[in-house]
Structure 1
Amino acid sequence: MGRVEVTNMTKTRVLSRALLQNLVAFVLGSEHQDLAGTLAITFIDEEHMRDVKRRFFQEDTVGDVVSFFYGEDPDGVWGEILVCVPRALEQSREQGVPFAEELMFLVVHGLLHLLGYDDDTEERRRLMMERAEELLAAYRKAEVRKRLVEQALRAREFAYAPYSRFRVGAALLSRDGRIFTGCNVENASFGVTMCAERVALGRAVAEGAREFVAIAVVSDSESFCFPCGLCRQALAEFGLDIEVLAGARDGRFVVQRLRELLPSTFSLQGV
């Protein structure tokens, strides 16, 4: 896709251009759209929004978001989204959601309008709202996965691997949102060697974490790095629904559930 141009006409701090660029790219990719040119996103106040609604919609109201599609233009602006910041702030308080989340929702809502979605009937509005929520949830999940892999890559740099020369980093996400990292620590007595996954797990348990959502594992290899059998069993102690992000050194990764990687897990339950 092309670039995102952001303008803030208010005194309130809004979303960064980098975040909006990533969000727009994710939505366009999910909707199988590749629009060249520039998408303009402008954050405005109530007075400006009321003026826009009067001029273009013949309505004396203040909406939360409006969009204008100008046609694909590789050298110009193909679309514009106007978000009313005071309305977004009011709605975030009413719904009990973070302000940034409400801004992202409105941007996605406006973008869906540009891609052909409409909310002129109750059914269309419901479908559009559901799609916006689906996209935001998927975007958040994708960003969390990306951050986990990035932290695992950073942890790999601290690996102590003088014997195998095979550095591994891991990043473990707990249910409460904390991330615990680990790297492999080798030993001259090979059996004492600790894998990155178990280092991260021990660190997490020592800080009170007991429920985990996902773990990213990366090495120096171009291939995807999966946990060894010992680490799979260690993680299985805390649940088989943990997502395993097996990464490569370039940041690519594949995702599998722990239960897929360790069928017929050993357990003392029922013994």
Structure 2
Amino acid sequence: MPELPIEFFAEDVEFEVKDEAKIKEWLFEIISKYSFELESLNYIFCSDEYLHQMNVEYLEHDTLTDVITFDNSDIEGVIEGDVFISIDRIVDNAAAFNITPEVELHRVMAHGLLHLLGYEDKSEEKQALMRSKEDECLEMLQL
């Protein structure tokens, strides 16, 4: 498989994605399933503080969140975006949901990508659809 234009960065936390090559293949598989093309996809892992500041500055939401997605593509059907994920939220939410941080991380990574694929979560109905799409994505992940 050619080198995929998917990158992982840590902004103000010490963090590395485990099984990086497999995770990139999984993300590419999700993109392909929805018949999108991949231009570039960046995941930036950070702290609650960092993501909260972005939430206030760019979205005018004064709340903690686990993920913020920026769609940088002007072409329909093309993925070009940045997904910011709070590792602090991942750890806290995993404990609250009684799952491993790794499973929660993968769910949130899929969630951010699903936003780039056109899925929203602003209503209860859309949240339910998003959750089922996240579950489908997680089922595709073979680690």
TM-score after normalising by structure 1:
0.47
Distance 1:56 1:102 in 2: 25
Distance 2:16 2:72 in 1: 28
Deviation at 1:22, TM superposition (A): 1.3
In 2, are the aligned partners of 1:14 and 1:100 still within 8 Å (CA)?
no
Distance 2:19 2:48 in 1: 21
Which of residues 8, 11, 32 is equivalent to 2:10? 8
Deviation at 1:20, TM superposition (A): 2.8
Aligned to 1:103: 105
| Higher RCO structure (Cα 8 Å, ≥6 apart) | 2
In angstroms, what is the RMSD of aligned CA positions?
2.0
Describe the superposition over 1:7-38 as per-residue Cα deviations: whole angstroms up to 9, x where unpaired. Answer: 01212444453133112111112212122x22
Distance 1:99 1:48 in 2: 19
Aligned to 1:50: 52
In 2, are the aligned partners of 1:3 and 1:38 still within 8 Å (CA)?
yes
Describe the superposition over 1:67-90 as per-residue Cα deviations: whole angstroms up to 9, x where unpaired. Answer: 0011168xxx92000010000011
Which of residues 66, 70, 73 is equivalent to 1:71? 73
What amino acid maps onto 1:51 in structure 2? Q
What are the equivalent positions in structure 2 for 1:158-177 lying under 5 Å apart?
Answer: none
Distance 2:7 2:15 in 1: 18
Distance 2:71 2:86 in 1: 18
In 2, are the aligned partners of 1:69 and 1:78 still within 8 Å (CA)?
yes
Segments of structure 2 that go 5 or more residues without pairing to the other structure are: none
Which of residues 88, 99, 123 is equivalent to 2:90? 88
In 2, are the aligned partners of 1:8 and 1:14 still within 8 Å (CA)?
no
TM-score after normalising by structure 2:
0.87
Distance 1:5 1:12 in 2: 13
What amino acid maps onto 2:21 in structure 1? A
Residue 128 of structure 2 aligns to a residue whose secondary structure is: helix
Deviation at 1:60, TM superposition (A): 1.1
What are the equivalent positions in structure 2 for 1:140-179 lying under 5 Å apart?
Answer: 140=141, 143=142
Distance 2:18 2:118 in 1: 24
Residue 37 of structure 2 aligns to a residue whose secondary structure is: coil
Segments of structure 1 that go 5 or more residues without pairing to the other structure are: 145-271
- Which one has a bigger Cα radius of gyration? 1
Distance 2:113 2:17 in 1: 17
Specify which structure has the higher proportion of helix.
2
Q: Does 1:29 align with 2:29?
A: no
How many residues align? The count is: 137
Identity %: 23
Describe the superposition over 1:165-213 as per-residue Cα deviations: whole angstroms up to 9, x where unpaired. Answer: xxxxxxxxxxxxxxxxxxxxxxxxxxxxxxxxxxxxxxxxxxxxxxxxx
